[in-house]
């Protein structure tokens, strides 16, 4: 939200906690498996701080609250074309 850019690769986000690569690796290995050792405790500490940062970024974002009608229509059309093959 700070940059207005969409980044889907959590591994490249600036300011991400150092254990994010471990979480990504664990997710790839076992979709519903346990957290790596020690991560649950760190998450319990970090989640409130990260949520507050996200709320601040949302409040300060210059991004539109809603997509334009044109963007919604274009996305709808893309989904339909993809589903119909």
Residue 65 lies in a domain: yes
pTM beyond 0.75: the answer is no
Asked, for residue 3, whether it belongs to a domain, the answer is no
Write out 1-30 in H/E/C secondary structure: CCCCCCCCCHHHCCCCCCCHHHHHHHHHHC
Instruction: List, for residues 29-61, the tens digit of each pLDDT value.
Output: 888 888 778 888 888 999 999 999 989 988 988
Q: Is residue 58 part of a domain?
A: yes
Residue 45 placed within a domain: yes
- Give residue 28's domain range: 10-84
Contact 17, 38 (CB under 8 A): no
* 53 belongs to a structural domain: yes
Per-residue pLDDT band at 83 (split at 50, 70, 90): very high
CB atoms within 10 A of CB 28: 8
Residue 5 maps to a domain: no
Cα within 13 Å of Cα(31), Cβ side: 0
Count of structural domains within the chain? 1
10 with 21: CB under 8 angstroms?
no
**Is 56 part of any domain?**
yes
Pick 7 or 75 by higher pLDDT.
75
């Amino acid at each position: 939200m700070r940059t207005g850019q969409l980044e889907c690769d959590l591994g490249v986000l600036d300011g991400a906690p150092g254990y994010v690569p471990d979480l990504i690796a664990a997710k790839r290995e076992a979709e519903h498996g346990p957290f790596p050792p020690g991560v649950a405790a760190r998450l319990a500490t970090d989640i409130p701080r990260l949520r507050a940062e996200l709320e601040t970024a949302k409040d300060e974002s210059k991004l539109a609250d809603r997509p334009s009608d044109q963007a919604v229509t274009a996305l709808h059309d893309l989904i339909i074309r993809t589903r119909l093959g």
